[in-house]
Chain A
Amino acid sequence: MTRTSADRMAAQEFPSAGELERVVPAAVRQRRLDAILAEPHRPHEHGLHEHRASIRPVVGPRRRLAPALLAVAVAAAVAIGAVVGVQSLSAPADPEPPAVSPSPACGTTHAPDAATLLNTLADCAAAHPPLREARYDYLHVRSLGSGFFEGGRGEELSTSETETWTAADGTGRTERRQPRGSSIEERHASELPRAEYPADPAALETFIRDREQRNRSEFAPAMEPNWFQMVEQIAVYSVVQPQVQAAALRMLATKPGITVDGPVTDGTGRPGVAISIPEEYSGGPARHVLIIDPATGWILGSEIIVLEAQSDVLLVGPPPAVAWSQLILGSGRVDSPTERP
């Protein structure tokens, strides 16, 4: 008898049939099926595309790149109340010059509260001209995390860069550069249609709330969307018009619990202003940080800063330090899946 290593692996069924039944017994499956069939069945209603977009395959890694500098800068800014005016930085999503002069307040990293800061940043974003029409949305994201870029085991912090070109129907191309090698993948039309976000804050909030509701399992507890994360996801997964970016910031400005952390420098040396909310990360206290370009209102990146050491969490340094983050290095619209803005 001759067996290959693949034969040997194939023979080791995992999980076993008994395990499947133990995890979800037949009676439970039937109850869940009944609950699903009781749900409205609306395949052709508006919103399906957006819904499917929200569950799209991961185009880029969700673990984010974190400049060690930022944790230090945030901590320093909080500690000493530093206020530093930051000057112009090119908008990552718009290579064209602004059609409208930005507000004199653009560039500020100081505000009495998060709502004031976010509304000012929204004004700066709204001052930019619309993105040009082009076939592909282009995004370039650099990430750092504990090894989960491909569903891995998290034994080390590592960086990854992903460039994606996505057409309206979801077709496109992905280039990944990771410690274990690079890859170029062609993507087929499937679950990746582009989301069309409303450009009005209230409409955007309703849009996201509806989408999250549709995404939620019948069996999951109802919960308020994490608005901070929703705004972050728009930036990381989508190329949006300036008016949509402004709407996202204005929507976020209405939410409680956001702290202005002040001026920071991201991992590429870009100046930004940080805002954050309390977060739990692997059971321990952390802060979820958004870094925004104060000159343009565009999001530069995000981070999770873990505040206390945890045995199973890898950090870039002693806590408080970054556990994961990502930087948006480029974003725009292009005509071909090899072109960069």
Chain B
Amino acid sequence: MPDAGSERFTQLYRDHYDRVLAYALRRAPAEVASEAVDETFLIAWRTFPDLPDDPLPWLLVVARNAINQQYRRGKRRADVILLELDRIGTPHAAADLSESVAERAAVLQALASLSDLDREALMLSLWDGLAASDAARVAGCSTTAFAVRLHRARRRLRAALARFDEIDNTGPLPAVQEVR
């Protein structure tokens, strides 16, 4: 018969597993990411119930450090955005790409061209779906600093997308208009 703590942890695990795994897979190859997520929830269990009321930022910080620990143990690094680009092809390299794939490739290529800080700010905000205060905590900076970082990153993403849209013969998606 599971105790109340186990039941609550099971709920936490089911509620957050996908988001922690997605966070890890955006930053590390599958093998590294998967193991880091295992470590994250093991640590969470050992810490439970002393977790924040909203445990997601805490879990993501632990996952990030678990990934770094694995790299220090010699796991090979890889840029997973570039790997994904390789998988789907680049917009100007494959003329027969479907429109949706071309758009995906353009976004990923623009993202890959940004600095690490820009990329991290955008991913935390747009893909991890964190509010600025939570994203700041995961990024290890103040909310204000994160907001500034994100603003600059969005500006550079816009410029990068514009560049890749010009390169891409298929052009951006129809009816897409950038808001300046």
Contacts and interface: CB of A to CB of B under 8 A. Distances in A.
Contact of B65 (A32, A42, A56, A217): A56
Contacts of B81: 14
B21 A24 contact: yes
B120 A5 contact: no
Contacts of A52: 43, 47
A12 B104 contact: yes
A80 interface: no
A190 B157 contact: no
A15 B74 CA distance: 24
B46 A39 contact: yes
Contacts of B50: 43
B132 interface: no
Contacts of A152: 115-116
Nearest to A32: B38
A34 to B, nearest CB: 10
Contact of A10 (B5, B74, B127): B127
Nearest to A10: B126
Interface residues of B, number: 77
Given A33-B10, A55-B43, A191-B58, A23 B127 contact: no
Of the listed residues A43, A148, A219, the one surrounded by the most CB atoms of chain B closer than 10 A to its CB is: A43
Nearest to B154: A6
B46 A214 contact: yes
Interface in A174-199: 174, 180, 183-188, 190-191
Could you tell me the dominant secondary structure of chain A's interface residues?
loop
Interface in B30-59: 30, 33-35, 37-39, 41-43, 45-50, 58
Contacts of B76: 282-283
A8 interface: yes
B140 to A, nearest CB: 5
A180 B79 contact: no
Contacts of A282: 76
A29 B34 CA distance: 10
B169 interface: no
A27 interface: no
Contacts of B126: 6, 9-10
A183 B145 contact: yes
B42 A174 contact: no
B179 interface: yes
Contacts of A55: 43, 62, 65-66, 69
14 contacts: A2-B179, A5-B178, A8-B176, A9-B157, A10-B127, A33-B41, A37-B10, A51-B43, A55-B43, A153-B116, A184-B145, A185-B140, A218-B42, A220-B38
Given A33-B13, A43-B46, A280-B74, 4 more contacts: A24-B34, A36-B42, A48-B46, A150-B117
Instruction: Give 10 nearest A-B pairs by CB, closest first.
Output: A152-B116, A150-B116, A185-B141, A5-B158, A217-B38, A10-B126, A217-B39, A12-B107, A55-B65, A15-B25
Interface of A: 1-6, 8-15, 17, 19-20, 23-24, 29, 32-33, 36-37, 39-43, 48, 51-52, 55-58, 62, 147-154, 174, 180, 183-188, 190-191, 214-220, 226, 229, 280-283
